Chains A and B, each alone.
Chain A
Amino acid sequence: DAKTTQPPSMDCAEGRAANLPCNHSTISGNEYVYWYRQIHSQGPQYIIHGLKNNETNEMASLIITEDRKSSTLILPHATLRDTAVYYCIVRERSGGTSYGKLTFGQGTILTVHP
């Protein structure tokens, strides 16, 4: 799986949009970008994933650059409950050694302030 680079920490004011960047410059055509988050001492929670088009769900939006070398996770109106570690993960699109496996990096610690 391609390696990802994320800033170690970010701050955001409650109610404002949180924009979390991720660099995956070695991503290949058969790899998806996934985002998970982990609230302190809980299991990671799936947020969103995408291949090359922008994606949106009830939790967040995912913007992937045209060259696919980077992406941004957007939490449109951050709340205190969004304080967590956010992981950007690149996964293969098909079979091989990717079944059931997520390769986590160090992630970004997002702190939402009142």
Chain B
Amino acid sequence: KAGVTQTPRYLIKTRGQQVTLSCSPISGHRSVSWYQQTPGQGLQFLFEYFSETQRNKGNFPGRFSGRQFSNSRSEMNVSTLELGDSALYLCASSPGTSVRDTQYFGPGTRLTVL
């Protein structure tokens, strides 16, 4: 089975721009979660989507949003980029039917905001 894929792998943007990141889950997985990793704050949960609906949400401003498509692929959007948004953005997929489902992570998208 193919693993979780994320595109693009690297991205450079400037302040004020917006960005869209993509995540394709493992085949058959219906849950996609997004995380932000920075040196200062570590790995932080952004939100989770299941069957095209946001089911869980972390403590991030409304500039961070996401969506999920009928094929379970998910996108994350960050509007009005700030320097502090520079981070490794990771997505993880799981079947989504149990809280105890193992989450499988993708390689991440490295976003640099200048």
Give A contacts to B, CB under 8 Å: 32, 41-46, 49, 87, 91-107
Contact = CB atoms under 8 A, between A and B. Distances in A.
Q: Which of A43, A91, A96, A107 has the most CB of B within 10 A?
A: A43
A104 B43 contact: yes
9 contacts: A41-B110, A45-B105, A91-B100, A95-B99, A97-B56, A100-B33, A102-B45, A105-B42, A107-B42
Nearest to A44: B105
Nearest to B4: A43
Given A32-B100, A94-B99, A99-B50, A42 B45 contact: no
Interface stretch (B11-19, B77-85, B86-94): B86-94
Interface of B: 4, 31-33, 35, 42-45, 48-50, 55-56, 58, 88, 90, 92, 94, 96, 99-100, 102-108, 110
Contacts, number: 73
Q: Which of B31, B92, B104, B107 has the most CB of A within 10 A?
A: B92
A91 B103 CA distance: 12
Contacts of B104: 46
A101 B48 contact: yes
A100 B31 contact: yes
Contacts of A96: 99
A42 B55 contact: no
